[in-house]
Chain A
Amino acid sequence: MKALTLARRELTGYLYSPIAYVIGAGFLLLTAGWFFLNLRIGGEASLRPLFDGMAVLMVLAVPLLTMGLLSKEYDSGTIETLMTSPVTDTQVIMGKFFGVLVFYLALLATTLVFLGLMLAYGRPDMGVAAMGYIGMILLGSAYLSVGIFASTLTRHQIVAAIVAIAILAFFVVLMGFVVGLGIRPWADLAAKLNAMTYFRDFSRGVFDSRGLVYFVSATALFLFLSVKTLESRRWR
C-alpha cells in the first residue's frame, strides 16, 4: 500500500517536472521521424521497424526518466525524511518502480497514434501490434529497473543517467555488435545476453517464453540490486 502511495507521489513529481515533458516530446518526435522514414522507404503497413527503433531509443530515454528517482532524494536530503518514516527499502524501490512504470506506459500510449494512422490508411496486423506492445512493456520494465539501480548508486543525476545508459548499451547495442561480428563462441554468448534477440520475437508478433523469462528476470535482478544498494547506504 505504501509502495502505491510512493508511486503516486513519484508520478505527480513527473507531471510537475519540465524534464519529463521534454523527454516525452523528444521521444515522440524521434519516434514520429523514424515512423515516417520507414513508411517512405519500406512502404509496409507494419509496426515492426517502429518497435525495434523504439527499443533502441529507450536506451537513451529511460535513463533520463529514472536518473533522479533516488539520486535526487540523496542530493536534496529528502531521503532522510523518507527513510526515517516506517517504510522498508523494498517499499521505496517498488514505489519508485511503479511510479515511473505508469509514466513509461503513458509515454508508450502516445505511440498508439501511429497505430491509428496505419489503421486509417492500411491494414496492420493487430496481433503483431499487441505482441509488440507486450514486448515494449516487458523491455521497458527491465530498462526502468536498470535505471533505478543506477540511480541508487549516486547523488548525481547525470552520473546515474550515464551509468544506466552504459549498462543498457552493453545489453542492447554492444551485444548486438558482437553477434554481428560472428566470432564463435562469443557471438553465441552475446546472442543469449542481447536484449534485442528476445525483443525481436515480440516485435515480429511471436510470443517466446524465453523472452518473458529474460525480461522478467532482468527486472527482478536489478530491482533486487537496487534494494540492496539502498540498504547498503546505511552502512557506509
Chain B
Amino acid sequence: MIDVKHLTKWYSRVLAVDDISFHVDKGMIVGFLGPNGAGKSTTLKILTSYLPATSGKVAIAGHDVLEDSLEVRRNIGYMPEAVPLYPEMRVRELLMFRAAMRDIPARDRKTAVDRAVERCWLNKPKDMTRRRVGELSRGYKQRVGLAESLLHNPPVLILDEPTIGLDPNQIRAMRELIQELGQDHTIILSSHILAEVEQTCNHIIVIAGGQIVADGTPESLQKQVSGPSQVLAELRGAESAKMVKAIEALEGIHKVEASAIGGWTRLMIECDGKSDRRAEIYRMVAEKGWQLRELRHTVGSLEDFFVQVTYKQNMQAAGRLAQ
C-alpha cells in the first residue's frame, strides 16, 4: 500500500531524512516512532505529496507521489500535527467544505459528513457540529481534524501525532478509534511516545536522526532490541570480591559487577547471549552456604532501547551544534 525506497530529504543544508526505505501492507497500523526532530513529520509530509523528496521514490496505492500527486491525494486522508483548521467556520460548514474539496458529489456530502461526525463523536455527548471551530477545545479540534481526514473514506490514513495535547481519557478514546479504523484503512501514525505506539500499532518503525533504526512488529522488535540478559542477585556471607570470583568461574557468565547495599552485596551478572543462568547461580550459592535474598532475570526493554536511541540522537545533535 505504501512503498518508500531510499527516501532522502535535505532542508537546504540540514539532512532531515537519510536514505530510508520501508513497506506498509494493506490493513496495517504502522507506528512511526522517534524522538522530536527525528524526521517523522518530514517523512509523512513527503508521503502526502505536500513536500517533495530530495531523492528516492514513494508510491501510495501504486501511485507515485511526484508524478501522480493528485491521485495520491485522492487516496489519503491526512491529519497534520498542528491540526490546522479555519477558526471562523462552524464544524459542519467546515466539513461540508472539505467534502467538496475531496470530490464527494453534492448529494453524498451530507451522508459523508454525518458518518465522519458520528465516528469521531462530534455529536456525543454534546452536538458540536454547530459550534465555531475557534471555540473548540484541543480535544475536539483533534476530532474535527480526524473527521476531515475520514470524509472521503480513503484507503490510507496518515496521522501526525494524533494524540498530542489530549487528556488521558481522550488519548484512550483516540487509540480505540484508530484501532477500529484499522479494520478498513491502512494507517500510518507518528508519535514520540513508545507506550502509545506499542498499544495501538501492529507494526513499529523506529526512526532517529533521519534513519530507521528498527522495524518490525512490537514482539519482534522486543526480541531485536533487547540487549544481553542480566541476572541481579543480592547475597551475604562472604567478601564481595570472593563472590564475584566464584560467580565469574561459572559457565556462561560474561561479566560481574558488585556493589554494597545495606550489608548485602548486589551483583549485576551479565550472561552470555540471551541465556538465563539463575539455576546455576542458585546452586552455587547454596553449596557455599551464602544467604540469598533476591535473584532476578532482566532483559533490555523496548523502552530502554528507545531511551538509548533518543539519547544518541541528542548527543549527535549537541555534537553538531558544538562544531
Interface residues of A (CB under 8 A from B): 2, 5-6, 9, 12-13, 16-17, 76-88, 234-235
Contact = CB atoms under 8 A, between A and B. Distances in A.
Contact of B86 (A78, A84, A88, A235): A78
B77 to A, nearest CB: 9
A16 B134 CA distance: 12
B73 A78 contact: no
B102 interface: yes
B103 to A, nearest CB: 6
A227 B51 CA distance: 17
A13 B88 contact: yes
B85 to A, nearest CB: 7
B218 interface: no
Contacts of B100: 2, 5
Contact of A85 (B82, B88, B98): B98
A80 B102 contact: no
A13 B88 CA distance: 7
B142 interface: no
Given A5-B97, A12-B93, A81-B78, 18 more contacts: A5-B100, A5-B101, A9-B89, A12-B89, A13-B86, A76-B84, A77-B80, A80-B80, A81-B85, A82-B101, A84-B73, A84-B76, A85-B73, A86-B70, A86-B71, A86-B74, A87-B101, A235-B52
Contacts of A83: 50
B148 interface: yes
A84 B50 contact: yes
Contacts of B93: 12
Given A13-B86, A81-B148, A86 B103 contact: yes
B8 interface: no
Q: Sorted from nearest, which 7 A-B pairs have the closest CB atoms?
A: A77-B84, A16-B88, A78-B84, A85-B101, A5-B100, A86-B73, A84-B48
Contacts of A82: 101
Contacts of B82: 77
Interface residues of B, number: 27
A17 B84 CA distance: 18
Nearest to B89: A12
B42 interface: no
Contacts of B101: 2, 5-6, 82, 85-87
B54 to A, nearest CB: 10
B97 A9 contact: yes
Interface string B224-244: 000000000000000000000
A13 B97 CA distance: 12
Nearest to B71: A86
